[in-house]
Structure 1
Amino acid sequence: MPGGVLVGIARHARPKGPMELLETVEVTVDGGLDGDCRGRVKPNGRGRRQVTLMERGDWQAAMAELGQAVPWQERRANLLLDGIDIPQVPGMRIRIGTVELEITVECDPCFRMEAVAPGLEAALTPDWRGGACTRVKAGGRIALGDAVTVIQPGIT
């Protein structure tokens, strides 16, 4: 399967807090993106929403549909990928450097997107445009420009 590239990294230290753009970040199985409030696996939790992914092309399509130019991090996703189609199949995996992320569920856009731009929630709804939620299967350090590939579960 063709590969892509990591073109954006963002985290927020607290719920509803501002998004911080990064050039590199550590990713762990227990904590997701270092410093991101959503990545930590809670006791008895499944960690289904540790790291969120979005395709650059999907964000651009939503912006074109709305006639807007809002920065991607306003979507509140953690990683922006370019040149790759995020699998819409739970269990599939994405590799970024040594980091391996398992797709768990669609990252449904919520009503808070309307505060970003009127119509954004609806523009992100079709065909997983809002992105995917993932669970960290293998940690490591990632950086802008890292290669991104889709891998089959259990294949290294």
Structure 2
Amino acid sequence: MTLPPSDSELGRLMATLPRAGRVEWIGLRPARGQAMQEVAQAEAVTGIGLLGDRYAGGSGKRGVTLIQAEHLPVIAALSGHASVLPALLRRNVVVSGLPLIALKERRFRIGDVVLEGTDECDPCSNMEQALGPGGFNAMRGHGGLCARIVAGGVLRLGDAVTVLA
């Protein structure tokens, strides 16, 4: 999907967010099959990814994966759990306060880091094992956003998530 022109009514609506978001959780995947490591901050490197994450050096379109905090209870309910911890879902950053899908094809800042939303972060087949039968489908539409790193730096817990013009 290509964004509508910014001077159109739809373009203006899609560019307007009620407030900034906030980083609630950060995690790194050290290696395939290993538990996520919760961290207070992470260094993002342009063209590389998050240092210490197993996907660093892979596809630039997926340098950072984000998931919306408000979707965690939805995923839990749809998968039959009382709650779901962020590490179980294997996304790097949990953001609250703004709809992540609105950041697709847009540049945004977290701390020192400038990111660009590239695509929805669809669930993988591992969610069936992590969440139980139906876990893959429980995450469909709630998997978050993939982003490429435009300008590297450090992102931290509590950082604001703001859209750039």
TM-score normalised to the size of structure 2?
0.82
Match of 1:11 among 16, 28, 40: 28
Aligned-pair CA distance for 1:17: 2.1
Matches within 5 A, 1:103-122: 103-118=117-132, 119-122=134-137
| RMSD over aligned Cα atoms | 1.6
Show the counterpart of 2:111.
97
Greater C-alpha radius of gyration: 2
Show the counterpart of 1:79.
93
Q: Does 1:125 align with 2:140?
A: yes
The percentage of aligned residue pairs carrying the same residue is 34
Of Structure 1 and Structure 2, the greater helix share is in: 2
Q: Which runs of 5+ in 2 are unaligned?
A: 1-16
How many residues of Structure 1 are paired with residues of Structure 2 in the alignment? 146
Aligned counterparts of 2:103 and 2:92: Cα–Cα separation in 1 = 19
CA contact (8 A) 1:88 1:106 kept: no
CA contact (8 A) 2:79 2:138 kept: yes
Aligned counterparts of 1:64 and 1:86: Cα–Cα separation in 2 = 20
Which ranges of 4 or more aligned residues in structure 1 deviate by more than 4 Å?
A: none
Aligned-pair CA distance for 1:66: 2.6
Aligned counterparts of 2:109 and 2:152: Cα–Cα separation in 1 = 10
Aligned counterparts of 2:34 and 2:80: Cα–Cα separation in 1 = 26
Q: Which runs of 5+ in 1 are unaligned?
A: none
Q: Any idea what SS the aligned residue of 2:147 has?
A: strand
Q: Greater CA deviation, 129-138 or 58-67?
A: 58-67
Match of 1:142 among 146, 155, 158: 155
**Residue identity in the other structure for 2:135:** L
**Residue identity in the other structure for 1:125:** R
CA contact (8 A) 1:84 1:149 kept: no
Show the counterpart of 2:8.
none
Aligned counterparts of 1:117 and 1:130: Cα–Cα separation in 2 = 13
Show the counterpart of 2:49.
32
